[in-house]
Each structure stands twice: as structure tokens, then as C-alpha cells.
Amino acid sequence: MHSESYILISSLVALQISIVIPLLNEAESLPELIAWIERVMAQNHFTYEVLLIDDGSTDNSWEVIKELSKQNTAIKGIRFNRNYGKSAALNTGFEAAQGNVVITMDADLQDSPDEIPALYQMIVQEQYDLVSGWKKERKDPLSKTIPTKLFNAVTRWFSGIYLHDFNCGLKAYRKNVVKNIVVYGEMHRYIPVIAKWAGFKKIGEKIVKHQARKYGKTKFGLERFLYGFLDLLSITFVTRFRKRPMHFFGSMGVLSFMFGFFMTSWLVLDKIYRIFIQNIPTKNLGRDITQQPIFYLALVAIIIGVQLFLAGFLGEMITTNSHRSNDYVIAEKLGFPNSNEY
């Protein structure tokens, strides 16, 4: 689609699709990827924009993006001051996206743009909030596929969302979804989980073709699976208790305090019972209460309970007076009406 016709159409009709592509050192693959996307968009007569988020590339990716943007005004670019990670890139793309349907895909040509029309139809016609790609036949070695299967199984169990491939970069979203979630840290793997906890529960899946990597090398190592599990624990806690920390810390604190209180009460009442009801002489009672290990266990439980309750109280005060902000720095933008705003 020529840039002039894109400007004319987009001025009259709301954008149908925003394609958000985070990238790091993908200068070789970008021209081929964009040409492929343009061909698919033209064949299906979509109005669209492509948001290329340069996550601190050290090659000439940004120069390639500049050239692509000159050739087609549907191509927009955002460059980070340094590498902040895929989550930061996706979150920035979500904030800038204007299309009614937002498609995310990787820049390494392993995600096929030919899948975009079917993903779009699933959002528009079948009314899904989110559709995740499933690379059923992966072009990866066993050293990656086996840990990936384990990672997905654990995530399904924790989240209750039955998807085969949480980490697939090719996904489609209703615009309302991306405008109401925040992706930070390394939480891009768990966007379906974040969306579910935000109330977007119609989550679907589509089998997509996995292309073999053509240029460069993977940016992820085996350590991502360990980090992924830790992130899963974090997102589970954050999504459930971010707005109500007292529900977690307070309940744990009450349980700990009550355990300590009842254990201490039992020790005291047992001694009183034996002295005044059973008339056992004091010298035959054995060790004093303070000489029994269980007394100190009960005392520690009471102290921990009070501390957890106070932590929950302080958490409630913090959450009611703070707002999370991402700290990544955008160095440059291309293709937006105003250089200071999207």
C-alpha cells in the first residue's frame, strides 16, 4: 500500500490493525518482514500501522527503521535509550497502538504475517479478547522444546488458562485489553494471565506456523525458564493481592498470631488446671512454662503475626497513595504526529 493512500484511508477510517514488533539487533530481517506484512495487508485491504520498538539495538536496526518509515508512513518507530527488555517494548507499543485489533509478533521472521487475517477474524467475528498463537510444530532443538513444554504445563496449572504456548510472540488482542493492562519486568510471558485477572476472560488459541530462524541468533537462553517460573509466582501474587495486600499479609498474620496465642493459652490453662483442679503440688509439675521449647515457638508465632499484619496495613497505605510508573527512557520516535506524544 502506498503511503499516500494509507494517509487518505486512515484519515477517513479507524485503523483496523496495529502490529507491535519489539526487536533487538534485527537489521537483517526487518526489510523482509515489513515487505511480507505490507503484502498481507494489501491483499486483505486492511488499514494498519506497524510499530517497531527498538529495544536498544547495537546494530543498524534504527537506520533500517528510518528508511522503512520513509517508504511507508504506516511504519512507525520507537527507540529506547538502552535495552530494557521485551516487556518494556510491548508495553510502550500497547500505549502507542491505535488499531482496533493489536497484533504482536517477533521480528526474527519466525512468526508468519500470513496468520494475521485469521487472528483478526477471531477477535472481530468470534469476539475473543485475546488469541494466542500455538507453535504446535516447533523448529527448535529438544534443549528448548522440552523445557518449553514443562514451562507451559506449570503455567496452565497455576493460572487455570488452558493454552499450549504462553510464550508465543504471535498474539492478537482487542484494543480494550492492551489499553487496560500494564506489562513490566519480564511479565510478557504471562500477558494472558494478566489479561484474565483484569477481567478479560475470553482467551483463545490458534495453531500457527513456526518458521525456522533465518538471520541472527536467539536472544534467550535456558535461564529464561528459571526466571519464568519466578515471574509466574510473582504475577500470581501481584495480580491477586496488588490492590489488597492486607488480604494476604493480614490473613497470614492473623493465622500466625492465633496459633501463638492459643498455644500460649493452652500452656497457661494446663498449668492452672493441674494446680487448682488436680491439686498437683507445684514441685511435681515439671518444667516451668518458660522452660518449654513450645512456649518460645508460640512467642515467635505471635511476633511474626503482628509483623505480617503491620506489613499488610502498610501495604494498604502504599497502594492507595502510589501509582506504578515504568522507568525506561525513549530516545527517539518516528512517524508520530508529535514527537513528544503518541
* pLDDT tens-digit series, residues 154-165: 888 878 888 988
| Packed helices 142-159 and 223-241: angle between N→C axes, nearest 10 degrees | 10
Is residue 246 pLDDT above 50, yes or no? yes
Strand, helix or coil for residue 68: helix
The hierarchical CATH code for the domain 3-242 is 3.90.550.10
How large is the average pLDDT for residues 290-319? 82
* Contact (CB, 8 A) for 198 and 240: no
302-330: average pLDDT = 72
- Mean predicted confidence (pLDDT) in 7-26: 78
Q: Residue 77 — pLDDT band, cuts 50, 70, 90?
A: very high
Least confident window among 221-235, 281-295, 308-322: 221-235
| pLDDT tens digits, one per residue of 249-293 | 778 888 898 999 999 898 888 888 877 787 777 666 667 777 788
Q: How many helices (H) and strands (E) does the chain have?
A: 12, 8
- pLDDT the model gives residue 10: 47
In this structure, are strands 101-104 and 171-174 parallel, antiparallel, or unpaired?
antiparallel
Q: Where are the domains of the chain?
A: 3-242, 245-319
Q: What is the pLDDT of residue 217?
A: 61
Whether 149 shows a pLDDT value over 60: the answer reads yes
Strands 48-54 and 17-23, bridge-based pairing? parallel
